[in-house]
């Protein structure tokens, strides 16, 4: 049996609108869960509900529902809300079939990119399905699959037209070839135009100031904000601002609102740009300068061979994979944090005491450049 509900397209995006959407990871998890249900019952449900990493649940309508002997397949149409996302309207397809190997095996099919370079935290040669979506798919399939100790299932995620969609992204530059990435840390997509995103950052600093705060933690993303909340546990929640790519705006607003101290918190990719003085860190606006990072590595004790390797690195994360086994990581991270602190102080003309804290991907502090006493 097969259905082709191609008319069930998501609403068109509204420029500047605020409608929330869902990540490709959420869509993949929903499609996989629905297909697994069909593997047991012979009929794929018309709707399916999954748990979101951010909390709560979401319900999706399944399309392109197909079943066969020992397998089932369906799709979810990606709804990115009002976010300007190249994958909006794409079909995220999951095929689930019985397998001889116990447990759940997750693979990428047509339209899902293949990782060809290190530095992404994913296996080279494997599908570009990020860790959180992997866990989401596994959790949802396990919930309905039953006992997989003797007979497992194989889940294949594909995206028709994914290779063409990927040409609108920076995947190829990152070494992801042949399709899109299956992404999503929180499961939802918050819609932000550049202007509204910047305005929300400015407003967050203003709200902190209006509530009596004179110290603020400016974080480059949701994970670094979580890590900062653990580190700076003397600050109230209102003092934490997820500034994203708008470091310069966040710093300038902090000065204008009478803040006296700011902790700039982030991971190596953003710090690699901030350390050069790039106060707007969007990936499309300025790439990680591995030549600059090679110079920082040289200051930190890297030999000529390591400097050359850093210059040829694919991403800032790849750089960390080079400096850590070489034994210069502590000095490298400290110098990166100190340069970030110096550039932020310069940007505010010394009007703000700045501390720069560099986290790893699991929340450990790699370096902390404190403001002078």
Residue 6 has pLDDT above 70, yes or no: no
In angstroms, the CA 9 to CA 25 distance is 18
pLDDT given for residue 193 in this prediction: 55
**Structure pTM?**
0.73
Taking all residues of the chain, what is their mean pLDDT, rounded to a whole number? 90
pLDDT given for residue 281 in this prediction: 61
Residue 219 has pLDDT above 70, yes or no: yes
Using DSSP, state whether 100 is helix, strand or coil: coil
Residue 370 has pLDDT above 80, yes or no: yes
Using DSSP, state whether 77 is helix, strand or coil: strand
pLDDT given for residue 284 in this prediction: 46
In angstroms, the CA 95 to CA 23 distance is 19
* Cβ–Cβ < 8 Å for 236, 285: no
Residue 2 has pLDDT above 50, yes or no: no
Q: What is the mean pLDDT of residues 257-275?
A: 96
Alpha carbon distance, N-terminus to C-terminus of the chain: 71
Residue 331 has pLDDT above 80, yes or no: yes
Helix axes 194-210, 247-256, angle to 10 degrees: 30
User: 295-309: b or e for each residue (b if 16 or more CB lie within 10 Å)?
Assistant: bbbbebebeeebbeb
Token pair 């919930």: residue: 143
pLDDT given for residue 191 in this prediction: 67
Confidence of residue 1 (pLDDT cuts 50, 70, 90): very low
Confidence of residue 170 (pLDDT cuts 50, 70, 90): confident
Nearest alpha carbon to residue 205 among 244, 147, 166, 158: 244
Q: How many residues does the chain have?
A: 373
In angstroms, the CA 28 to CA 153 distance is 15
Helix axes 290-299, 316-326, angle to 10 degrees: 20
Write out pLDDT tens, residues 221-243.
888 999 999 999 999 999 999 99
Residue 4 has pLDDT above 50, yes or no: no
Q: What is the mean pLDDT of residues 254-267?
A: 97
Residue 258 has pLDDT above 60, yes or no: yes
* Cβ–Cβ < 8 Å for 119, 317: yes
Q: What is the 3-state secondary structure (H, E, C) of 161-212?
A: CHHHHHCCCCCHHHCEECEECECCCCCEECCCCHHHHHHHHHHHHHHHHHCC
Write out pLDDT tens, residues 94-153.
999 999 899 999 999 999 999 988 877 889 999 999 999 999 999 999 999 888 777 899
Residue 8 has pLDDT above 80, yes or no: no
Tokens, residue 209: 């100031």
Write out pLDDT tens, residues 185-214.
888 887 665 666 787 788 889 989 988 999
In angstroms, the CA 168 to CA 76 distance is 21
Helix axes 290-299, 329-347, angle to 10 degrees: 120
pLDDT given for residue 147 in this prediction: 80
C-alpha 52 chain-centroid distance: 15
Per mean pLDDT, which range of 197-206, 248-257, 296-305, 339-348 is the poorest?
197-206
Query: In sequence order, what DSSP letters do the residues of 313-329 get, joined into one string?
Result: -SSHHHHHHHHHHHT-H
Tokens, residue 81: 């809300």
In angstroms, the CA 259 to CA 167 distance is 43
Write out pLDDT tens, residues 35-86.
999 998 889 999 999 999 989 999 999 999 999 999 999 999 999 887 777 8
Write out pLDDT tens, residues 294-306.
999 999 999 999 9
Tokens, residue 316: 């800032």
């Amino acid at each position: 049996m097969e259905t082709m509900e191609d008319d069930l397209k998501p609403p068109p995006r509204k420029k500047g609108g605020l409608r929330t959407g869902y990540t490709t990871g959420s869509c993949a998890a929903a499609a996989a869960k629905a297909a697994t249900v069909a593997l047991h019952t012979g009929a794929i449900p018309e709707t399916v509900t999954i748990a979101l990493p951010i909390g709560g649940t979401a319900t999706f309508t399944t399309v392109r529902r197909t079943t066969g002997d020992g397998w089932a397949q369906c799709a979810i149409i990606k709804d990115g809300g009002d976010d300007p996302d190249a994958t909006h309207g794409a079909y995220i397809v999951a095929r689930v079939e019985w397998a001889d190997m116990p447990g759940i095996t997750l693979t990428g099919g047509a339209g899902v990119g293949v990782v060809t370079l290190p530095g992404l935290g994913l296996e080279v040669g494997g599908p570009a399905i990020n860790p959180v979506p992997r866990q989401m798919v596994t959790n949802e399939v396990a919930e309905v699959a039953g006992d997989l100790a003797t007979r497992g299932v194989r889940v294949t995620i594909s995206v028709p037209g994914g290779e063409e969609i990927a040409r609108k992204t920076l995947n190829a530059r990152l070494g992801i070839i042949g399709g899109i990435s299956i992404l999503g840390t929180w499961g939802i997509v918050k819609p932000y135009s550049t202007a509204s995103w910047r305005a929300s950052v400015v407003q967050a600093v203003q709200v902190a100031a209006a509530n009596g705060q004179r110290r603020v933690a400016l974080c480059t993303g949701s994970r670094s904000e979580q890590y900062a909340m653990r580190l700076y546990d003397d600050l109230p929640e209102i003092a934490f601002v997820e500034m994203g790519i708008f470091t310069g705006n966040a710093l300038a607003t902090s000065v204008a609102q009478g803040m006296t101290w700011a902790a700039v918190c982030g991971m190596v990719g953003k710090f690699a740009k901030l350390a050069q003085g790039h106060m707007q860190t969007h990936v499309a606006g300025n790439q990680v300068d591995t030549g600059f990072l090679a110079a920082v590595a040289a200051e930190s004790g890297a030999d000529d061979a390591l400097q050359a390797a850093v210059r040829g690195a694919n991403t800032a994360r790849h750089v960390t994979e080079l400096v850590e086994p070489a034994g210069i990581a502590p000095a490298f991270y400290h110098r990166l944090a100190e340069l970030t602190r110096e550039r932020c102080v310069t940007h505010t003309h010394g009007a703000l005491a700045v501390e720069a804290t560099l986290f790893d991907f699991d929340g450990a502090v790699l370096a902390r450049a404190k403001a002078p006493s």
